[in-house]
Copies of this chain bind each other. A is one copy, B any other.
Amino acid sequence: MPSTSDTHALTMLVRKLESIAILSDEERQAILNLPAKTRVLQPGQDIVHDGDKPSQCCLILKGWACRYKIIGEGKRQILSFHIAGDVPDLQSLHIHTMDHSLATLTEATVAFIPHDNLRELIAQHPGIAAAFWRDTLVDAAIFREWLIGMGRRSAYEHMAHLFCELYLKLQAVGLAGSYCCPLPITQVDLADALGLTNVHVNRVLKQMREQSLITLRGHTLVIEAWDELSQVSEFDPTYLHLEKRAAA
Contacts and interface: CB of A to CB of B under 8 A. Distances in A.
Interface of A: 51, 67, 69, 71-72, 75-77, 79, 91, 94-97, 99-100, 119, 123, 126, 129-130, 133-134, 136-141, 143-148, 150-153, 192, 194-195, 234, 238-239, 241, 245, 247-248
Work out how many copies of this chain go into the complex: 2
Contact of A95 (B77, B94, B95, B137): B137
A96 B239 contact: no
Nearest to A154: B72
Residue with the highest number of chain B CB atoms closer than 10 Å, among A69, A71, A234, A248: A71
A120 to B, nearest CB: 11
The 4 A-B pairs of least Cβ separation, nearest first, read A151-B195, A150-B150, A143-B143, A99-B239
Residue with the highest number of chain B CB atoms closer than 10 Å, among A100, A147, A194: A147
Given A79-B144, A140-B139, A241 B129 contact: no
Nearest to A21: B94
Contacts of A94: 130, 133-134, 137, 247
A100 B148 CA distance: 11
Nearest to A241: B95
A67 B141 CA distance: 12
A144 B141 contact: no
Contacts of A133: 94, 133, 136
A91 B142 CA distance: 13
A234 B241 CA distance: 34
A143 B138 contact: no
A99 B141 contact: yes
